[in-house]
């Protein structure tokens, strides 16, 4: 797995800036048209890195689906790798999982959990499911006795399957 | 009340504004021409192709039902499905409410068995693709679902003890061939069930634990045979599938299959109408639960939907983790990872598949909406939910934008002409 430990943490790391601030100057109908054209597509500036430091930089977390591509509506697993900022594996971490679709106002359809520690700072995250295409957030809260609690949010865009030839 | 009227006025104003805009927009009906029709943007093309029936994978195996692929179980299930002896008045079978001639539903707003139910009968074709059964998903397999209506007081109104006697009397050899010897039921009461009337419950308590277990196992096995039959029910290709097939092959005359209005409706379905965000895939459902603010049938007793169903499925003796399941615990992943505390599930119902939808009004979980015109209008109006919060949003033209609009679903804005096109598209799904 590719571990980027460079501290490229944006101030507002996982949420993109509201896109409609400029449009607010125009008349309401125009604004609405702008909103509509953007409703189904994930924001262009979305940071899709699957390896990133936690908010307070206590850990560096990398996540990876166990199999790709991720099928819509299928339960599947991810591997989560937790390291210190210096790159040492973090063992015995408690990891809580949350997430959802910011553009649709709903959470994950399942309640995924880390079910097993795989060694070397790696953890098995089971029970993930994405029920539609689009922008999903995967939020992890990592806690260890040594370094305490910290949080990180990843963005994942689920796209339509490539059509199977009939 | 006044408030309500004000709201309606606001919606109408919003509609007018939206209508004025889309009339000049290239997707408006007024600008139709045959060349434009077949021009699909790459995202649109991928989206429409994902709706084709031939993209539907085989339904996943149900590890909790060991007989689901057995021809003998399918045959037994077919007979049980249509057997009205399996009811308290000998007049109700599964097929009473799931009529094979009506897409396995009954065209009624709410189910009518030995009594009147509170929800609409669901078409059951393709149920093997649904991890959760019923409008609220309170069952986690087709066999566990099937044992529900048999003991429901207003559906079949019977009890598992009586059904065990019926199996012994009418289906003994078929049952024994599939599931092994039938226990001796001779000394047991005629009627008994842990879920039945007070008298049936007392009779059930008077039975010893082994007999109770034997009877519940016969009952579960009836469900497994019925499920095996149900899983064989498949959709046949629709007019939409024929059209998409022609488009995918670059056929020059796909417009002879769908009209310009229907094609524009398809474009709206996968685009501006946002329908595909919940009604996705070849069955046009995400198999998930959403609160879409459909008004309850009885405003005094709003239906909590999924929120009330989660504890039920977790406690169900016939769930994937229960003693009558054939699955290993680690095969019960849907149940193991069920979302138990998601606030969005208050008042949420399962997204119904839309194949054949125009032939089976009325609509929604309790038949609250009579026509497809009114269904589409519901999405544009997007009323507040009676219980919980609707995932849909409506326009608030009087409000200043806050910049937070992107954090929720955008309103579905469709002109009157676009709403009509969307309705005509829904007529292509059979």
For the cut 80, the answer to whether the pLDDT of residue B44 exceeds it is yes
User: How would residue B24 be classed by pLDDT, with cut points 50, 70 and 90?
Assistant: very low
d(CA B407, CA B384): 17
Chain A, nearest residue to B401 by Cα: A24
Better-scored residue on pLDDT, B382 or A69: B382
Which range among A25-34, A62-71, B153-162, B304-313 shows the weakest confidence by mean pLDDT?
A25-34
User: How would residue B358 be classed by pLDDT, with cut points 50, 70 and 90?
Assistant: very high
Chain B, nearest residue to A132 by Cα: B277
Count residue pairs from A and B with Cβ separation < 8 A.
127
Instruction: State the nearest Cα–Cα gap between B391 and chain A, in angstroms.
Output: 7
**8 A C-beta contact, residue B303 and residue B345:** no
Average pLDDT over residues A75-93: 97
Instruction: Give contacts of B348 with chain A, Cβ < 8 Å.
Output: none
Is the alpha carbon torsion for B123, B128, B131, B132 positive or negative?
positive
- pLDDT digits 0-9 by tens, B190-245: 999 999 999 999 999 999 999 999 999 999 999 999 999 999 999 999 999 999 99
Name the residue among A31, A33, A134 with its Cβ closest to that of B401: A31
User: How would residue A41 be classed by pLDDT, with cut points 50, 70 and 90?
Assistant: confident
Q: In this prediction, what percent of chain B has a pLDDT beyond 90?
A: 83
Q: What are the residues whose beta carbons fall under 8 Å from the beta carbon of B374, sequence distance 6 or more?
A: none
- pLDDT value, residue A102: 86
Looking at the DSSP assignment, which residues form a beta bridge with residue B348?
B305
Instruction: Give contacts of A29 with chain B, Cβ < 8 Å.
Output: 17-18, 20-21
Each domain of chain B, given as residue ranges in start order, spans 71-230, 289-426
Tokens read off for B134: 């019923």
Instruction: Give contacts of A18 with chain B, Cβ < 8 Å.
Output: 403-406
Chain A, nearest residue to B19 by Cα: A29
- Does 1.20.1250.20 match the CATH number of domain B71-230? no
Contact check, Cβ <8 Å, B339/A110: yes
- pLDDT value, residue B270: 96
Contact check, Cβ <8 Å, A132/B286: yes
For the cut 90, the answer to whether the pLDDT of residue B406 exceeds it is no
For the cut 90, the answer to whether the pLDDT of residue A34 exceeds it is no
Instruction: Give contacts of B391 with chain A, Cβ < 8 Å.
Output: 104-106
> Strand order in A51-53's β-sheet?
A51-53, A60-65, A76-83, A122-128, A113-119
User: How would residue A161 be classed by pLDDT, with cut points 50, 70 and 90?
Assistant: low
Q: What are the residues whose beta carbons fall under 8 Å from the beta carbon of B256, sequence distance 6 or more?
A: none
Instruction: Give contacts of B280 with chain A, Cβ < 8 Å.
Output: 72, 132-133
For the cut 70, the answer to whether the pLDDT of residue B35 exceeds it is no
What ipTM, to 2 d.p.? 0.80
Contact check, Cβ <8 Å, A160/B46: yes
Instruction: Give contacts of B52 with chain A, Cβ < 8 Å.
Output: 163, 166
* CATH numbers and ranges of domains, chain A: 3-40 (no CATH), 51-158 (2.60.40.3340)
Q: What are the residues whose beta carbons fall under 8 Å from the beta carbon of B231, sequence distance 6 or more?
A: B59, B62, B68, B127, B128, B142
Instruction: State the nearest Cα–Cα gap between B328 and chain A, in angstroms.
Output: 16
């Amino acid at each position: 797995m590719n571990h980027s430990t460079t501290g490229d943490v944006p101030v507002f790391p996982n949420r993109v800036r509201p896109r409609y601030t400029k449009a607010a100057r125009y008349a309401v109908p125009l604004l609405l048209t702008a909103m509509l054209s953007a409703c189904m597509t994930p924001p262009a500036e979305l940071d899709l890195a699957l390896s990133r430091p936690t908010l307070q930089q206590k850990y560096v977390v990398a996540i990876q689906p166990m199999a790709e591509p991720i099928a819509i509506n299928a339960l599947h697993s991810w591997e989560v790798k937790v390291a210190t900022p210096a790159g040492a594996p973090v063992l015995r971490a408690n990891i809580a999982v949350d997430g959802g679709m910011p553009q649709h106002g709903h959470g994950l359809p399942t309640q995924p959990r880390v079910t097993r520690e795989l060694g070397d700072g790696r953890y098995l995250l089971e029970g993930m499911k994405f029920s539609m295409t689009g922008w999903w957030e995967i939020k992890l809260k990592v806690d260890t006795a040594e370094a305490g609690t910290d949080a990180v949010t990843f963005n994942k865009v689920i796209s339509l399957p490539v059509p199977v030839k009939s | 009340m006044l408030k309500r009227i004000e709201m309606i006025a606001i919606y109408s104003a919003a509609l007018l504004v939206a209508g004025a805009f889309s009339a000049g927009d290239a997707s408006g009906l007024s600008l139709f021409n045959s060349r434009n029709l077949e021009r699909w943007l790459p995202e649109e093309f991928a989206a429409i192709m994902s709706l084709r029936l031939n993209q539907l994978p085989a339904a996943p195996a149900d590890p909790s039902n060991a007989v689901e692929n057995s021809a003998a179980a399918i045959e037994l299930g077919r007979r049980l499905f249509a057997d009205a002896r399996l009811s308290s008045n000998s007049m109700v079978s599964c097929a009473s409410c799931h009529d094979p001639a009506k897409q396995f539903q009954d065209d009624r707003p709410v189910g009518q068995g030995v009594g009147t139910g509170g929800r609409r009968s669901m078409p059951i074709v393709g149920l093997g693709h649904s991890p959760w059964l019923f409008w609220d998903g309170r069952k986690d397999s087709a066999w566990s679902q099937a044992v529900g209506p048999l003991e429901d007081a207003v559906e079949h109104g019977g009890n598992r003890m009586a059904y065990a006697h019926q199996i012994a009397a009418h289906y003994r050899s078929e049952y024994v061939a599939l599931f092994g010897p039938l226990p001796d039921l001779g000394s047991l009461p005629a009627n008994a069930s842990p879920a039945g009337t007070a008298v049936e419950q007392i009779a059930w308590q008077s039975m010893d634990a082994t007999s109770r277990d034997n009877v519940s196992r016969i009952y579960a096995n009836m469900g497994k045979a019925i499920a095996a039959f149900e899983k064989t029910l498949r959709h046949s290709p629709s007019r939409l599938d024929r059209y998409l097939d022609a488009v995918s092959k670059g056929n020059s005359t796909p417009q002879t299959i769908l009209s310009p209005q229907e094609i524009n409706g398809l474009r709206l379905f996968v685009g501006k109408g946002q329908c595909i965000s919940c009604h996705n895939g070849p069955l046009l459902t995400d198999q998930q639960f959403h609160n879409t603010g459909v008004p309850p049938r009885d405003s005094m007793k709003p239906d909590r939907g999924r929120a009330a169903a989660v504890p039920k499925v977790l406690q169900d003796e016939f769930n994937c983790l229960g003693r009558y399941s054939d699955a290993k615990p680690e095969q019960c992943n849907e149940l193991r990872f069920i979302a138990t505390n998601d606030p969005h599930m208050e008042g949420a119902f399962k997204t119904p598949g839309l194949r054949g939808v125009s032939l089976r009004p009325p609509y929604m979980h309790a038949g609250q909406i009579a026509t497809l015109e009114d269904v589409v209008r519901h999405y544009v109006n997007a009323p507040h939910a009676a219980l919980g919060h609707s995932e849909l949003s409506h326009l608030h033209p009087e409000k200043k934008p806050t910049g937070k609009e992107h954090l929720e679903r955008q309103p579905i804005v469709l002109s009157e002409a676009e709403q009509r096109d969307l309705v005509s598209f829904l007529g292509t799904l059979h």
